[in-house]
Structure 1
C-alpha cells in the first residue's frame, strides 16, 4: 500500500495470516493482515513538482526498492494504490506504449517484481496516507537510498530490542533449546516423525502441528535430540520450539542493521571514526571498512580530543593501527592534538567534503547503525552498560554481510560469536584457515610448555614438611625479613605459614619460602658401665718381693 503527497512518500507492507479470499484483501478480516514493514521520506525539490500520476508511480517504485528483501520472488504480491490510473499503467501496459520518459523509467524499475495492482479509495488508505503527509527520512533518495534502508532496518531492530524483557537468559545455546523442546509435545512429535520417516502421502493426512514441516520434510534430520534444517549450500539451522520462537525472532531482528552498504567500499586497514550526539550524550563510533566490525564508546562530559585519543588507543591496541582513518572534519577530530596523535601512529586522515557528510558514507552508516542500537536502550546518564545494548551489538556483529555470507565476527575473529540466537555447535567452529594457524600456535605452546617443565624439573625445590621453620620473602622489597612456621602444605606447592610476632596466617608458594637450617641436637651422654667384678673361680696372682729389697733393713 503506497501513497504520495506534496510532503513526501509513504508505504506499508502487510502480510496475510488468514485464509480468506484475495478478492476482499486486505480488509477481509481484522486480524488477517499484519504489519511487516513501513516507511516514509520527504520529497526532494524536483519531486515536489511531479504530476500526481508521476508522484504515485514514484511512491510505488520507492516502496518496492525499500522492501525488496521482503518482496523479491514473492509469487502472490498485491500492490494497492489510491490512484486509479496506475492500475492500467503498472498492470498490462507495455513500455512501448508509455510516452512520458519519467513514467517509463519508474515502470522499468518495477519490472523485476511480480505483482497485481488493485485500486483502493484514498479515504480507506489510512496508514500510507498518514506516512506520506508526516514523513520522517530526509536524505536524498537517489544517492542515499541504501542508507535509508539501514535506518528502516535499524529502527525495527531498536524497537524490537526496546520491547524485549530480559528476565531470562540472554544467550540461547543447544542445551536451552533442548530443555525447551523436551517440554513441547508438538516438538517431540516432530522428532519422532523425522526419526521414523513415516510421513503420509498427503499433507492433509498429517497432524496439524506437523503440516508446517511437510514441504521441507526431506531436509529435516535429528541431531542430539534436536531437529535441524539444511538449506542452501549445506547450511544447517536448528528448528526452534514454539516456546522460544518469539525470543529468537526478536534476537534476529536485533542484528539487521546496515546490511546493504556495509562492505561495498571496504578497504583493507581502513577505518572510519565519527562522533555523534544522542539524548544529550556524546558517543564515538569506530568501524572497520573491510570486516564491518563496529565499536561504540561513550564520551562522558563532552567529546574532547584527549578523550577521543584515549578511546582510539584502546582500539588500536585491540585491532592494530589502520593505514587510513576517515572522519567528517569535526574540530575535535582535526585539532592539532589529534593531528599529532595520528602522525605518531602513522595513520593518514581522510576528510569528507565540507558541509557534505554524505561523502563519508561509511562513517554515516556506522553512526546510523549505532544510533538505532542505542536509542531507547542506553542506561542512566547515557551508559552503554546494559544487556540490551550488548545484545543488539552482538547480533549486529553476527549478521552475515551482503554477498559474502560472512559476518563481521567471522571476518574479524574467524568464528561466530555465541549470542541470543541458538545454533548448532558446528557454527561455532573456527574457520579452516584460522584453524591451521591456531593449531600451529597450540603446538608451539606445547613445545614451550615442555621446555619450561624440563627447566623446572632441573631446579626443583624440595617440599617443606609442616612444622618446619622458614624464611618468608617480603614481596614489597624482595627481602627475606620475615620468619614463621609451616602450618599446612596445600596443593600446587602452596604452604600456609604462621608468621612470627603477629601470629598471622599467610598463604605463600614454595618460591617465596626458604627453609631454615635447624642445628642438630647433641646426642645424650652414654651411661658409664660399672667395673666388672672378679670371677670367684679365677686363681689369684702371687706377688713376689723384689730382690733388691733383700738388703733393706727396717
Structure 2
C-alpha cells in the first residue's frame, strides 16, 4: 500500500558484494505512530473494498461467517488474528493450526470473514461444495488452480484440486491420449528378416503392401479380393521371389486375424506379430510406406516407373533399397555407367551405424515435441476406461500381451479386446460406474489373445 504511489525498479545485489552489514533492512519494528495509523486505515479500507466487490451473494457470505465460527480450528485462527499469535516460535503453535503459521502475516479479519490477502478462507464443512464449484466446466488442474488464485483458500487446496480432477469420471473419459516415449524398432541384422504389411485403398482399387524393415524395399500387389485367402496367395508370390521372413508385422484386420492366415504363418514358419487395434504407430514402417506409395501412384503417369525410381533412390544411409536387399543397382530410365550395375554390397556396418543414429534422433525429436512420458503399468483385475468410438466403455485388465508390455487384454461387456496403454485410463477412483470383477490366471493368457475380437 505504501509503495503503490511510486514507480520504482528492483535490483538484486548479491550477498558477496555487501561488505557492510545491511542494518536498515534489519531494524526492529517501531511503535505504531501517526504514519502507521494512516497506513492501517488505508489497509482496512482496501480490504473492505475487496469484500464489497466479491462476486458472491450475501447469503453465501453469511453462511461462510456462520460456519467460520462453528469451525474449531478457524475459530482459533480468528482469535489469534484479533488478539495476536502466541509467540514467534513454531513449536508453540498447536498442531492443527500450524498450516496457518507461515502465512500468519497474510491473514486478517474483515466483516466477520477470515481472509488470506484478498482470498476467502473457507471452513471445513464447505470445502467439498467449493471444490465442485471450482471444477465447474471440468477444466484441468492448472486452470482450476488459476480460478482460486484470487478467490478462495484453505490449507492443501492445491492438492485437493489435483485429486479431484484426477478422480473426476468425466475428465477421465475425455482425457487426451498421453504420448509415451518412442520405442524405435530394432534395425534387423540382415535383409528380409522382418517385414511389415498393410492394405490400402486408392483410386477405387485395393492394394497389398509389403516393406522390408532392413532395406525399406517395397512390394505391392493390386487385389481383386480382400479375403484372407487372396492376401495369403499374394504373400506366397512375394515370398517365392525374396524368401520367407522371420517376422511379419501387421495390424489386426480381419484378413490377418483369420484362421486361414494363422495356418499360413504356421505352415511357412514365420512369426506373425500384430499391433494394438486403433494404434497404427505399432505398424509404423508399413504405415509410412503406404503414405509414400500412395503419393507415388497418385502423382505419377506411370506408377511402375515411379515405384522403380523409389527402389533405386538412395536412402539417408547412402544406399538404395535395391542395393540393400539385392546387392546391386537397378537399371532405370536414367543413363548410367554399366559398371555401376555390377553386384556390390554396401558397407553394411556403416549403414547400421547411420540407421541406429537416425532412430535415436527420431526418438529424441518425438519425445520432445509430444512431451512424452512413461505411463504407469496396469495390474491384472484393475478397472479401466477404454477410449474409443461411441464414447468408450469400461473394462477389467486381464493380462499384458506377450508381444508388447504396452498392450493389454481388456475384458468388457462385449467380450475381450486388445488395446494399447495410451487408450486406457485407470478408473479405480471413479464412483459413478459399476464394474464387473472377474478372476484370471496366467494360463488363460494365450487363450485371451486368440479370443479378442477387435
The normalised TM-score by structure 2 is 0.34
Question: Which structure has more helix as a fraction of its residues?
Answer: 2
Greater Rg over alpha carbons, structure? 1
